[in-house]
Structure 1
Amino acid sequence: MTDAFDPSALFGGGANGENPMAGLLAQAQEMQTTLLRAQQELEEAVVTGTAGNGLVTVTGSGAGEVTGIEISRDVVDPEDIETLQDLIIGALADFSNVRENLASEKMGPLAGGLPGLG
């Protein structure tokens, strides 16, 4: 004879008095704490992107806020503004890539959200 499924076991009253939902809730709370800690570390991180072998440097936070741009005097040529513009765009793109890699590192598997929850 097979034991019938007892749905009350999911919400308490399971084998040995265990509550599977309590364990799931504790796991979700731990993941949330880990996520918040990673987000805080990311916001406090200083990220730098460069272009032209350091001719243009963009600095900002791990959250993506740009806080500074340094441009070498060697690249400032009033007759060639396009090169400077390209270098700034390149440094911003590098900054974005570095920031996204840092976010992936800090957030780990939590970056994609909880499995099965969209």
Structure 2
Amino acid sequence: MKARLPQGMGGGPQNMQAMLKQAQKMQEDMAALTEELEAKNYEVTVGGGAVKAVINGKKEIVALDIKPEVVDAEDVEMLQDLIISAVNEAIRKAETDSETEMNKITGGMKMPF
């Protein structure tokens, strides 16, 4: 007894070629999007504007601006916390943007990057 494939499944070599072309197109789109995302900058300000961090899509810090009034030798920990908070938030922003844009291409399918 032969197993039957559901309607639209199988199709032989033509279907396989179409799937391969679709996968290649998706890979090309993902490569182009990755390049575009890496060129973007993500800016975050914390502490009421006291610290601003800017990272690129490669998650490299591009700029870090600190208002002079938050530099207090007696409270270095607060400044450290503000910097960490700004950088981490910028990274989350870049990752969320990347995931959202990649999902548009992959349809939510998890892909290794």
User: Is TM > 0.5 for Structure 1 vs Structure 2?
Assistant: yes
Match of 1:53, SS? coil
Q: Which of 68, 93, 96 pairs up with 2:91? A: 96
Aligned counterpart for 2:17 among listed residues 22, 30, 33: 22
Q: CA RMSD in A?
A: 2.4
* Length-normalised TM-score, structure 1: 0.77
Q: Report the counterpart of residue 112 of structure 1 in structure 2.
A: 110
Letter in 2 for 1:10: G
- The count of residues paired between Structure 1 and Structure 2 equals 104
- The structure having more radius of gyration, on CA atoms, is 1
Q: Which segments of 5 or more consecutive residues in structure 1 lack a partner in the other structure?
A: 12-18
Tell me if structure 2 keeps the 8 A contact 1:50–1:58: yes
Q: Indicate the residue corresponding to 1:42 in structure 2.
A: 37
TM-score (norm 2): 0.80
Alignment gaps of 5+ in structure 2: 5-10
Over the matched positions of the two proteins, sequence identity in percent amounts to 32
| Alpha-carbon distance, 1:33 to partner | 1.2
CA shift for structure 1 position 67: 1.4
